[in-house]
Structure 1
């Protein structure tokens, strides 16, 4: 096996592993922090001062061994006698859903819940880990076969 083949094999294997011992997530609720609605509109230096970032392993009490991840919940809350309200919540999650994003439509609210698995990934819509891995592997294969 040539050194290039070994490097490609290691790169592909490492791209499939994304578990880490700690994950850092944005932690906010737009009910009391309007910047939580879209943190990416803020300058990164300002965003760090306005929206807390927490280490899920330290912030959430552990009863069992959880594999923490970041979560973003967008809710439209329907009020009977006034306009509906948009609320965004960002934080840590520990019970995974089978889908990275899913919707729930209830009588009094509709919500979209997304989970992601890298630091600060709950700041906005992002590419899920499966898509990112596929793109990375495709790029590595293209570079391998089309090198000069």
Structure 2
């Protein structure tokens, strides 16, 4: 058995997605292990362009199982929109090829509100540039062992 691991060690875009895309077609399982939907990932397969935010790019290949791991914070609305978009474009997204860890934490409306209020309340020059999507506050709840998790 061959195992390939692509790990980033910095903040932000390091090219992990591009390498994963190149390997995904011939890979049995692709696992997203951390992060949220604050950044997009554009994948080109043939002439098709897909913009993904939560689901690993392996979903575009019929024999690849994708896993959203316990280190990912998941916005259920964004996840459902992404699933609908993929299905609408003929991509199979089903329990057989998309798994979500029951230990992943959910981004709730309160997290988004808190994120936006905290950023708005910061003085000029002190803003951190959050996307306001609730990712930071959700990780705070995760670390505090107080976050909501999916019931699968």
Whether TM-score is above 0.5 comes out as: no
TM-score where L is the length of structure 2: 0.24
Considering Cα pairs closer than 8 Å and 6+ residues apart, tell me whether 1 or 2 has the greater RCO.
Answer: 1
Q: Which has the higher strand share?
A: 1
Q: Which has the larger radius of gyration?
A: 1
TM-score when scaled to structure 1?
0.24
